[in-house]
Chain A
């Protein structure tokens, strides 16, 4: 196990990895190890070959994504990384255990994702059949792919088999995001897929009218599709019966139990129009609670990340929008007010007060506690197109103010050419100052690069208790940042295993009490734009030596409490195990 000590004690498996030398206080806490780790493979945007190709090029700088899972069960987190150019390969980086990676995508059978009719946009690991092995869902402009993890072959190498058609998921859609959770609590993990463009064949469009009809109220996008897991490896489209009828320009989906009533609710981040918040009714249907919970907005929602940043016991939402000299939308940091007297949950935007309002043209944003101080920090990447010195802004605004312009017609839009649009923007690492304020520490820690960031995958790739970052950049090399912060702060990590078909325990909520503070974490099924982070739960404990109490609320409804657990270890928690 490459230096990892495994301890089996009373149903609880502990792993401990000796920490590498830590940076001295005041030094950079993140080291760019992209090259050394062997993951320096650039993403390339898809270029189109159709009458609207020049115009489309400016609006499809997407598809750089990353998803984390331990696909081979060796105790180290691996990475699936997408490309988008025609003929390019997606990558499956197997973690060698020493902070180097080996691309095994071709041998595993998951490399081919980008052909003349499909371009990869995102990826999601999920164990849809509950066999204990993460399967892979590749989100594409075109037809999505589902790969079943077949486990190791005779040589010990894990193989995948594409099962999209058998699973009932073979449909044309310009998908851009996906999350998995058990919305109807039948014990099986379902799929929620967000679609950006309507299902026009982008590679050979038969109409020029497939662009957003409005900058603020567009309803001619792809919306979202709910795929109910029927068991037996098949899915069925239950979008309408689940209560969804969306046609916005979905960019991200984020699920969490906002009201802690035992079922997961859904935030839909939309470009060119209002975000949506859906409350799970607990009977396999959802209710659109947008107006009462967050209100109608006109912004460009791009990320839906949930986390309890203020440790008040309620999960909050971080949404990126566009903030630049020419468009000052500002992000949303939706503080969860909890359910009111009527039982309905509401949110208040506290982005200005907390200092998280302006992150440029924001994309992925992830909560994580990088210094293990017990407060969730926030990393945000940004930038649309970093190209030549000329700005595309005047061109697009000239179009906007043109009387009677038909925005839905791609031909109305000026080609971007070599111009830039909100490019070369510095990323932000917001250090949580105690629940009410964040301070940007990106420059200090070497995380303020200016590539056009898209997805952020957070994982502890070396099992040292410090969370590392993988950043997928559009049309550029990614970043792999190794966390080398001082190892003095305590931490704990948990890998949950459910008893039923939802074996990954997606949706499980954990409350950790240590050092007089209770923190809430949950197992998410792929939240955050263009990325999936580790499903291990990580908790910074500050100076606390032990966990006083650990309470798990399993998706099945079962409640489990453990007490007096040691810090500094990963613990596998199996549902129903009283220890």
Chain B
């Protein structure tokens, strides 16, 4: 039913594009699908599904610079499209695993700049969660974790206020706890994970953290594994917007 709703809500172009992207099994096939996917995004710059599908194909094709250039033009043409800026940031994040250690830092910083622009235009749960979570991937020495906590506290605030508790909101509770842990506030971390688990019973990521919360070293190892910048971060927004 959700697929049908998608067809209603989105442009025809996007819904015809999505299956094509899904079919793009090889890098060559993914590359071949890019022009059509780009056209879909250009036609609807705020469309998260279309942009996400495009980026997933880009990852498959390894065409990261093309993607960055595409979003660069898109936000130039549509400077107030908050979701376009968000996806522009994700385009940098997507390239990180393919880059050297120093370039990874530059890309992560570029992504943060774009996420900030998105928040400047429209402060949404998704944008706050995205930027806040991104800060947590930075090594502690850069002092970015407190900035992440600030964003994630706002994101959790939005989640608390929303009547409809979308499942994806659980992610902000997870991330905020991680942020508290990274800023050496273990008690607050446990509390927010516990609150999240009450709101989202059975959430495995919350359970995993709480199960380890009695052993700070074990918990730290677990969280660092989750926030390893060398592992590809799943930036597919489809699971996030599907819950809408």
Contact = CB atoms under 8 A, between A and B. Distances in A.
Contact of A391 (B103, B105, B141, B229): B141
Given A400-B106, A401-B106, A401-B109, A325 B139 contact: yes
Given A325-B139, A394-B143, A298 B105 contact: no
Nearest to A327: B101
Contact of A325 (B99, B102, B140, B143): B140
A400 B105 contact: yes
B142 A397 contact: yes
A325 B144 CA distance: 14
A258 B139 CA distance: 39
Interface in A294-335: 297-299, 322, 325-329
A329 B142 CA distance: 18
Interface in A212-242: 215-216
B102 A328 contact: no
Nearest to B228: A328
Given A328-B230, A401-B109, A298 B103 contact: yes
Interface residues on A, range: 10 to 19
Contact of A401 (B100, B105, B230): B105
A362 to B, nearest CB: 14
Contacts of B103: 215-216, 298
Nearest to A321: B101
Contacts of A394: 141-143
Contacts of B142: 326, 393-394, 397
A421 to B, nearest CB: 11
Contacts of B99: 298
A299 B104 CA distance: 12
Contacts of A391: 141
A185 B229 CA distance: 48
A219 B106 CA distance: 20
Nearest to A329: B101
Interface in B218-238: 229-230
B184 to A, nearest CB: 15
B112 to A, nearest CB: 10
Nearest to A214: B102
A213 B200 CA distance: 50
Contacts of A401: 105-106, 109
A215 B100 contact: yes
Contacts of B230: 328
Interface string A485-503: 0000000000000000000
Interface in B90-106: 99-103, 105-106
Interface in A355-397: 391, 393-394, 397
A326 B141 contact: yes
Contacts of B229: 328
A325 B139 CA distance: 6
Contacts of B141: 325-326, 391, 393-394
Given A397-B105, A400-B106, A326 B139 contact: yes
Nearest to A405: B106
Interface in B49-108: 99-103, 105-106
A298 B100 contact: yes
A391 B141 CA distance: 8
A299 B109 CA distance: 20
Nearest to B100: A298
Interface string B124-148: 0000000000000001111100000
B220 to A, nearest CB: 12
A322 to B, nearest CB: 7
A158 B43 CA distance: 83
Contacts of A397: 105, 142
A400 B102 contact: yes
Contacts of B140: 325
Q: Which of B100, B103, B229 has the most CB of A within 10 A?
A: B100
A373 to B, nearest CB: 32
A394 to B, nearest CB: 6
B10 to A, nearest CB: 36
A394 B100 CA distance: 18
A397 B106 CA distance: 9
Contacts of A299: 100-101
Nearest to B140: A325
Contacts of B106: 400-401
A297 B102 CA distance: 12
A328 B140 CA distance: 14
A393 B144 CA distance: 13
A400 B110 CA distance: 12
B190 to A, nearest CB: 24
Nearest to A393: B141
Contacts of B109: 401
Nearest to B109: A401
Nearest to A397: B105
A216 B100 contact: yes
A400 B103 CA distance: 9
A76 to B, nearest CB: 44
A328 B143 contact: no
Contacts of A329: 100-101
Contacts of B100: 215-216, 297-299, 329
Q: Which of B102, B106, B142 has the most CB of A within 10 A?
A: B102
Interface in A55-84: none
B223 to A, nearest CB: 14
Contacts of A298: 99-103
B101 A328 contact: yes
A549 B230 CA distance: 47
A394 B140 CA distance: 10
A246 B109 CA distance: 32
Nearest to B108: A401
Nearest to A323: B101
Interface in B19-75: none
15 contacts: A216-B100, A216-B101, A216-B103, A298-B99, A298-B103, A299-B101, A325-B140, A326-B105, A326-B139, A328-B101, A329-B101, A391-B141, A394-B143, A397-B142, A400-B102
A-B complex: 3 closest residue pairs judged by Cβ atoms = A298-B100, A215-B102, A216-B100
Interface of B: 99-103, 105-106, 109, 139-143, 229-230
Given A216-B100, A394-B143, A397-B142, 12 more contacts: A215-B100, A215-B101, A216-B103, A298-B102, A298-B103, A322-B101, A325-B140, A326-B141, A328-B101, A329-B100, A393-B139, A400-B106
Interface of A: 215-216, 297-299, 322, 325-329, 391, 393-394, 397, 400-401
